[in-house]
Amino acid sequence: MLAGGALIFALVMVLLLLSFTRRAPAGGEARQLRVWVIGLGLVFPLAVLGALLAYGLVIGERLLAREEPEVIRVSAEARRWTWRFTYEDAPGRRTEGVLHIPAGRPVDVAITTADVIHSFWVPRLAGKLDAIPGHVNTLRIEADRPGTYRGLSAEFSGAGYGGFTFLVSAHDAAGWAAFVEDTER
């Protein structure tokens, strides 16, 4: 995005410079200059911004929490300096510092905190959402494939926040079933 923005900025600056340094063009040159200014100065940036907006809307729609039967629901509660996770599919099951999810299925994470404002962020799975005392925010995450993903709190919440991390363990179908049915809690 930075490179695209820099390219568009450079193009607009060149066109602006040309408009100040050139004399009034003759009829054919005026039409050619208008094509450059309108085509590359207005139409191209609007097309790029429109494409970025459409992409952002599609991605944002995927992250919205909705009532769907195949969605896994997990609660995440931040405390200095750990995350505690509970699972709707496994009542009574609680983990600290590791969030277990099934790969290939959407997961709604209900995020809150017991003390100060923290943030829940797994860069490879979804955007960042704040954990606010007394309030529950819901974030939809989904891992495309099994694996371990690093999460962190990107909100300054006091001394030691830099090491406030957690892991997300995405399981295949068999691994998720074993996690849910595990009687050793």
Cβ 127 vs Cβ 154: under 8 Å: no
CA distance 44 to 62: 28
Report residue 8's pLDDT band, with 50, 70 and 90 as the boundaries.
confident
pLDDT tens figures, 55-96: 988 887 776 666 777 889 999 999 888 899 999 988 889 999
pLDDT at 62: 72
CA dihedral 169, 119, 110, 149 (to 10 degrees): -10
How confident is the prediction for the chain on average, in pLDDT? 85
pLDDT at 43: 82
Cβ 165 vs Cβ 98: under 8 Å: no
pLDDT at 98: 96
Q: Residue 117: CB partners within 8 Å, gap ≥ 6?
A: 130, 131, 132, 133, 155, 157
State phi, psi for 5 to the nearest 5 degrees. Answer: -65, -40
CA distance 163 to 67: 34
Q: What is the pTM assigned to this prediction? A: 0.67
pLDDT tens figures, 13-66: 887 777 777 665 555 666 676 677 777 777 888 888 999 999 988 887 776 666
Extents of the domains making up the chain: 2-63, 72-181
Report residue 185's pLDDT band, with 50, 70 and 90 as the boundaries.
very low
Cβ 63 vs Cβ 126: under 8 Å: yes
pLDDT at 108: 92
pLDDT above 80 for 145: yes
pLDDT at 4: 82
Averaged over 141-164, what is the pLDDT?
85
DSSP of 54-115, one letter per residue?
Answer: HHHHHHHHHHS----TT-EEEEEEEETTEEEEEETTEEEEEEESEEEEETTS-EEEEEEESS
> Residue 106 is encoded by which pair of tokens?
């959407």
In the CATH hierarchy, which fold is given to the domain comprising 72-181? Immunoglobulin-like (2.60.40)
